[in-house]
Amino acid sequence: MRPIRFPCKLELPSLLVTVAITLTACSTSIPFRPEERPTELATDSLGHPTRIPTPRAKDAPQVLPTTTATSTSLPRIDLEAFEVELTLNVNSGDDYVVRAFWSDAGDLVYYAFVPCCDTKSLKWAAYGTTTGLTTTVSSPLRYDPGIWQRLSVPNPLDSTGLYPELAGYISPSGRYVIFPVSYGDPLDPTARTEIWLADVDNLRKVKLLEVAPRVIHQVAWFKGETGAIFNLGTHGATDLYVADIKRGTVVPLAEVSAFGDPTEEKWALSPDGTTLSVTGRQASLWLVSLENGQSTFVSRNAIKPYWSQDGNSLYFWWGSTFNEIGTLQVYDVTSEQISTVIDKATLEEAFPGISGSDYAVSPGRDKVVFWGGWLIVADLHDE
């Protein structure tokens, strides 16, 4: 297949390798029946009392700033400084890419995929950005599917349809697990979801929270695994909670920060664990300090934030209006300046449907991987 080239002012050699894997994956979400409730979970705890935070009075609605951060051009990532090429390769019509991330060195893209109608068979592969080779690999994440049986709880995959390792339920070391257990039909007013924390080393468990039927879409762990942040929601807006692992307690983000809005499902914790990037009302992007609770406005019409490896830059999809979101931009934390990485028109002309997709930027900030069933790795070059 002939390469598809992005229009560009410069004639520089570059490469965009696409691993396109498309087919709809089938999944079924089945709520746990009351009789399937784990036995004596509350008594087999971490030794700390259960704490259900008391909702605080709602603060006055946040007033969005009338201006955004200063927009400028960063030569390192200005699209006009690059020529981008697309090469399409179809590996299999039966596989569907659900997650991708970079190796620490930035020379590999690990990606997870599932075969159609077999949502429990998560498989992994790695694409070498220097070799151009794709190989099947074992999971790069520390996850033992047998932990649910040892903890005497159902596998959350059966009720949520989410892969526990991809949602971050398991801590990086594999020692701690945060997971939901749901009871009853979600349409039943008596139905509930319990959020539990478990120590895999000694199989002790403690209930952190009990709410109306909700799903944990994502868990992010602090360094040293002293704490974690997770979100609870259904579809769309979710609420964020901060868990103290050693104490076995949890509080809403609204109780420890000035940010009280529900957020989009996609949010990101900075590499040093001090700052959250969240999207609140009117698709407004904010930085929330976990040290002093202050909120900093970044941009309107911005979704799916992603931190650079060094934590100095925050990437996000942006649009002049909400309906036009699809330009990849980056915010410099130090200078508070915003610049464009790749604009929507260029992306859509070369590969329709890629704008607004899930993505990850390489540690060297010279490549971007996009996915959504398919997988696209963009290699960006300087002048």
pLDDT of residue 339: 93
pLDDT of residue 381: 59
pLDDT of residue 151: 92
DSSP labels, 271-326: TTSSEEEEE-GGG-EEEEETTT--EEEEESSEEEEEE-TTSSEEEEEE-SSGGG--
CATH T-level fold of 4-28+40-379: Methylamine Dehydrogenase; Chain H (2.130.10)
252-290 pLDDT per residue, tens: 998 989 888 778 888 999 999 999 999 988 889 999 999
Q: Round to whole Å and give the CA distance between 31 and 181.
A: 9
Map out the domains of the chain as residue ranges: 4-28+40-379
> 220 exposed, middle or buried (CB, 10 Å; 0-12, 13-18, 19+)?
middle
CB 52 within 8 Å of CB 209: yes
285-316 pLDDT per residue, tens: 999 999 999 999 999 999 999 999 999 999 99
Query: Which residues of the chain are modeled with pLDDT < 50?
Result: 1-68, 70-92, 383
pLDDT of residue 197: 96
pLDDT of residue 348: 83
> pTM, whole model, 2 decimals?
0.78
Tokens at residue 171, please? Answer: 């801590």
